Structure formats: C-alpha cells, structure tokens
Amino acid sequence: MITFDGVSKIYRDGTPALEDITATIQPKEFVSIVGHSGAGKTTLLKMLLAQEKPTSGTVMFQDVDVHALPNSALHHYRRKIGMVFQDFRLIPNKTAYENIAFAMEAAGRHDDEIASDVPYILNLVDLSTKANHFPNQLSGGEQQRVAIGRAIINQPDVIIADEPTGNLDPINTYEVVEILKKVNELGTTVIITTHNKGVVDAMGKRVITMDRGRIVRDDPQGQYIL
C-alpha cells in the first residue's frame, strides 16, 4: 500500500535527514516509528504527505508516485490520509463540531451526510457533550480527540499520527491510543511516531526504529528499544 523505495533527503547545507529508506507498509497495519529526536521520523511522514520532496528515491501510495502529483491534485490525495499532530492543529475559531465538519465540507460531502456523520464521530471520540466548544475551551486530551475525529471522518485509507500523545498526560494518552487501536481494528492503516515506550510496548505491533536518518530495526511485533 505504501512503499518507500531508497528514499534519501539531504538538505542544502549537506545534512542528511533521511538515508536510503526502504520499507513497505501493508493495508490495515499498525506501525509505530520510534527514535530519538532528529532521527528523521517526522521527515519521513512529511515525505508521505508530499510536504517535502525526497532528494532521491520514490514514495508510492497505492501505485501512485506521490511526488509526481501536480499541486492541483494534492488536495485530492491528502483526503485519503488522516493527519493527527502533537500540537492538535485545530482551527481556533471553529467549534469541535465545525472542525470535524470542515474536513467533510472540504471534501465536498453533502449537508445531510455531515449532519449524520459528525455526531457519530463525536460520540466515537466521546465528545458529544462538547460539540459546540471552541478549541480553547477544551483540554489537551479533548482537543486531540477532536483532531482524531477530524482525521477519520472521511474514512481515509491511512491515519498518520505524529507524536499524538506528546502533549498529553497518561490518562489522555491511554484514551487516544485506545481510539487509534479501535480505528485500526475497523480496517484503517495507522502509522504513528512516538517517544512513549509504554504506548509502543503495550501495543505489541510492528515497530520501525530509526536513528540518524536510517532504519536500524524493523520488528513485526516489536518493543521500544533505543
């Protein structure tokens, strides 16, 4: 489904961010990418989102070369991927409901679809009672749940979560991970990057370990080992 083939990224000053990354991720997999800060985890995700171009190598998504897509087609491609960030990145002047609905509106979905799907998702992430709250009226964990709701509302093929629990306390971390697991069980591929050993070890799923821009370990049922 997703294939990194010999992907390298070398910045203009000569610093290598990624070196010869080759990996394949199958549909419905749950993959954790771990590594120290600066190991290249986020750069790898940016490659997949076509936010950065590789210096060499290709990134394929369902047989499409991501970096050969024209600028005008990128938004169609990005609708197949749900993104969750460490800093939530909700739209500040939209309510929880509107933040989730926005992703559907942007994808051109009908009003009645929106009216039926958004409450369902809000319920799934346990925020039905806070639908009309603005992001600054929600706790960190609640904001991250809204972000996950927004990421899954269009039933994407993949959820990419970049340090989704980085800003959360253990209880919220647990809740977010439970939601991601549930999403994965419903058939969506999930890729997360994390520093949280507890999260990775509890999962018992595939772990890719990165160090200085390279993949140093790829265990199908891995542990957080650095």
Partner 1 sequence: MITAFKRVVSNGSKNFFRSGAVSFATVLIMTVTMIIIGLLMFLSALLTYTLDAVQSKVDVSVYFTTNADEGTILNLKDKLVQLPQVADVTYTSRDQALQQFRERHASDQLTLNALDELGTNPLGASLAIRAKDPTQYQSIVDYVNNDADLSAGGTSMIDHINYEQNKGIINRLTSVINATEQAGLVIVIIFAIASTIITLATVRLAIYSSRDEIAVMRLVGASNAYIRGPFIVTGILGGVLSALIAMIVFAPVSWYVGTNLSAWLGGFNLFTYYMSHILEFAAVLFGSGFLLGSFASYLGVRRYLRA
Contacting positions for partner 1 (CB under 8 A): 49, 71, 74-76, 78-79, 83, 89-94, 102-103, 105-108, 110-111, 150, 154
Q: Which of 104, 8, 127 is closest to 59 using CA atoms?
A: 8
C-alpha 190/C-alpha 207 separation (Å) is 12
19: three-class secondary structure by DSSP: strand
Closest distance to partner 1 from the beta carbon of 77 (Å): 8
Helices 96-106 + 140-152 axis angle, to 10: 20
Closest distance to partner 1 from the beta carbon of 181 (Å): 23
Closest distance to partner 1 from the beta carbon of 132 (Å): 13
Closest distance to partner 1 from the beta carbon of 125 (Å): 16
Q: Which of 83, 73, 127, 132 is closest to 103 using CA atoms?
A: 83
Pairing of strands 64-65, 16-25: unpaired
Task: Select 35 or 135, whichever has its Cβ closest to partner 1.
Answer: 135
Task: Select 105 or 178, whichever has its Cβ closest to partner 1.
Answer: 105
Closest distance to partner 1 from the beta carbon of 113 (Å): 11
Strands (DSSP E) found in 62-188: 64-65, 81-85, 158-162
Task: Select 1 or 74, whichever has its Cβ closest to partner 1.
Answer: 74
Task: Select 156 or 213, whichever has its Cβ closest to partner 1.
Answer: 156
Task: Select 28 or 80, whichever has its Cβ closest to partner 1.
Answer: 80
Pairing of strands 206-211, 56-61: unpaired
Closest distance to partner 1 from the beta carbon of 78 (Å): 4
Q: Which residues contact 219 (CB under 8 A, 6 or more apart)?
A: 206, 207, 209
Helices 170-185 + 140-152 axis angle, to 10: 10
Task: Select 118 or 203, whichever has its Cβ closest to partner 1.
Answer: 118
